[in-house]
Amino acid sequence: MRNELYAGLRRKITAITLVVSITPLLALGATIYFQFSGMYRDKIKEQIYYRAKTQADGVDLFLKERTAILGAMADTNQFNFIVEEKNLLPIFSIVNQRAGAFVDLGVIDNAGRQSAYVGPYDLAGLNYYQQPWFGEVMTKGIYISDVYTGFRQIPHFIIAVRRQENQLGWILRATIDSDVFGAIVKAAQVGRTGDAYIINSEGIFQTRPRFEGKILERSHLDPSQFGGRTTILERMDKRGKSTLYAGSWLNNDKWLLVISQEVEEEMASFYATRSIEIAIIMAGVLAIVMVTLFTTRTTVNRLRETDGRLDELNAQLVHSDKLAALGKMAAGVAHEINNPLAVILQKTGWMEDLLEDEDLSKSNSYAELKASIAKIEEHVERARKVVHGMLGYVRKMEPRLEDVDINDTIMQTLSLLSNYARINNIEIKTDFAVDLPVIASDQSQLQQVFLNIINNAIDAIRKDGLIWVRTKRDDSWLSVNIEDTGPGIPPDKQKRVFDPFFTTKEPGKGTGLGLWISHSIIEKMGGSISFETDVGKGSTFTIRIPIVVPEKK
């Protein structure tokens, strides 16, 4: 029952402590994690956004530069001049010197025929009239194509500018190697999973992507998902990995520069931090759990010990109370019995007086009457002894303080008992501490106590044995040890040793009040009587008396 209570208490304390200490820790950890994760994600998005934007700006600039230089060349040269291949060649080398990345250069007249061509392919004389871009460049003035393979089967794109010369329009057209162009874009391919490429408005790759396909193939991205200028998308692939896409429109919104990055890779350092955080929290939780279990166990055990001591104390108090109540009762009973006894004794005395008178002494019954009276008196005497024994308890209520030398007191007691011990062949040995202080106590009461206990020891031994009486000082206590070689006290009787009227002696030999009175006397003095007993070997009674120094007179 008690154990269940303690276990319940322990569980409760443990649970509350754990909840109270772990909950804030976990809450803190989670908050830090989510806040930090959000911030980190925002940072990554921001980074990829700016990368896409700057890269798109770079590509745009590249195109504008090329377009501008072609425009300048067309504007500064007459058709008649430029159509000569020997004139076109230096122009080609100038533009390549200034801007680079041009593969070839051609002049197309207003009928769509390539009138002049400088470059590695044999494209002179081709007619572009049917090509859709031809019409567009003729109307708009500038045209930048998507990447295509065209006649030469190599991915490229063209930049074409129209010159309006008098009524006649002609076109200066240049090819840009897609690979050269793609290299600029590729510079933005970072990390293990980072990709950068350009797709057109239909989603066709304009530059070679790192992972997701080949040039001129259709990308899995739908460009219409991207809004104006620069936008960011996040998509999950089949494996559940999340990828960030930043798209930035360029080339008059015909092309979309895409930078992609797996979130996981970018988050790697964050995940490392997260692992550390989790480890720290786990360690913290473990420490809390261990400390909680330990302290709770210790606390509850302490409590249990304290309760145990309290119970013991309570039991002692109850016992003392019981003895005190019995004492009061004894006083009352003594009074009630003593008065009738006194009457009986007087009456028998009177009878005796009368028997001596007159001629009754000659009566036949004289002897019998005399014997009966003697018996009555004997038994009154017996009852008187019992009552006086009880009264001894009451009498001790008011101890008198005098200077007492314990060793002296014991010696006096022993002298009273020495004859009784000698006839039973019992030796009494003493081992007295010599430095015992004189204390303020009641010598006759102490003598009564020693007398009771040593007398009991002699009675217990019966014949042939040894009694040791030892005194010693124990801090602020005097202790007296009385050890006998008697038969010991059987376990079933140990509890009742200090109860009144409890005796193991033959009827008429002991009243069962000796130890009861001794116990009361010593308790009243603030001391204690205890005993240890070993059945078959003997008992040791220990009397502890507080050292009370007599007042200086």
Partner 1 sequence: MDLFRVLVVDDEKDFLETLVKRLNKRNIETAGVASGEQALEMMKQKLFDVVILDIKMPGGMDGIEALREMKKIQPLAEILLLTGHAAVETSIEGMKLGAFDYLLKPIKLEELLVKLAQAFEKKDSHDQKIRSARIKELIRFPGRVFDQEKP
List residues binding partner 1 (CB under 8 A): 331-332, 334-336, 338-339, 341-347, 349-350, 353, 377, 380, 384, 388, 391-392, 394-395, 397-398
DSSP letter string, 309-330: HHHHHHHHHHHHHHHHHHHHHH
To the nearest whole angstrom, how small is the minimum distance from the Cβ of residue 340 to partner 1?
Answer: 8
Q: Provide the minimum distance between the beta carbon of 408 and partner 1 in the complex, in angstroms, as a whole number.
A: 25
With respect to partner 1, which residue has the nearer C-beta, 358 or 506?
358
- Cα–Cα dist 184/136, whole Å: 27
Q: How far is the CB of 387 from partner 1 (least distance, A)?
A: 9
**Could you tell me the smallest distance in angstroms from the CB atom of residue 339 to partner 1?**
5
Q: Which is nearer to partner 1, 237 or 356 (CB)?
A: 356
Q: Quick one: tokens of 280?
A: 């720290």
481 is written with which tokens?
């040890």
Query: Which residue's entry shows tokens 């970018």?
Result: 266
Q: Side by side, which strands form the sheet with 230-236?
A: 195-200, 255-262, 242-250, 230-236
Rounded to whole angstroms, how far apart are CA atoms 133 and 157? 11
- Comparing CB distances to partner 1, the nearer of 278 and 325 is 325
Q: Are 341 and 383 in contact (CB under 8 A)?
A: yes
Closer to partner 1 by Cβ: residue 196 or 330: 330
Q: Are strands 465-474 and 426-431 parallel, antiparallel or unpaired?
A: parallel
Residue 331 or 438: the one with the smaller Cβ distance to partner 1 is 331
The C-alpha atoms of residue 433 and residue 410 are separated, in whole angstroms, by 12
| Cα–Cα distance, 346 to 506 (Å, whole number) | 30
Residue 374 neighbours by CB under 8 Å, 6+ apart: none
Q: Are the C-beta atoms of 204 and 145 separated by less than 8 Å?
A: no
Contacts of 542 (CB under 8 A, 6+ apart): 479, 480, 481, 482, 529, 530, 531, 532
Report the residue number, 132 or 349, with the smaller CB distance to partner 1. Answer: 349
In whole angstroms, the minimum distance from the beta carbon of 423 to partner 1 comes to 29
**Residue 1 in 3-state DSSP?**
coil
CA-CA distance, 121 to 28, in Å (whole number)? Answer: 68
**Nearest distance from C-beta of residue 516 to partner 1, angstroms:** 15
Shortest distance in whole angstroms from residue 382 CB to partner 1: 12
CB of 322 to partner 1, least distance (A): 20
User: Min. distance of Cβ 379 from partner 1 in angstroms?
Assistant: 12
Which residue from 169, 154, 2, 172 is spatially nearest to 72, judged by alpha carbons? Answer: 172
**CA 305 distance to own-chain centroid:** 24
Of the chain, the end-to-end C-alpha distance in Å amounts to 57
Between residues 155 and 389, which has the closer beta carbon with respect to partner 1? 389
Of 233 and 383, which has the nearer Cβ to partner 1?
383
Shortest approach of partner 1 to residue 344 CB, angstroms? 7
Say which residue the tokens 């494209």 belong to: 123
Nearer to partner 1, 124 or 337 (CB): 337
Element (DSSP H or E) covering residue 369:
helix 366-395
- Alpha helices, DSSP H only, in 77-189? 79-82, 85-98, 132-140, 178-186
Least CB distance from residue 348 to partner 1, whole Å? Answer: 9
| Nearest to partner 1 of 215, 513 (CB atom) | 513
Nearer to partner 1, 18 or 331 (CB): 331
Distances (CA, A) of 178 to 128, 145, 207, 342, 465: 21, 11, 7, 141, 123
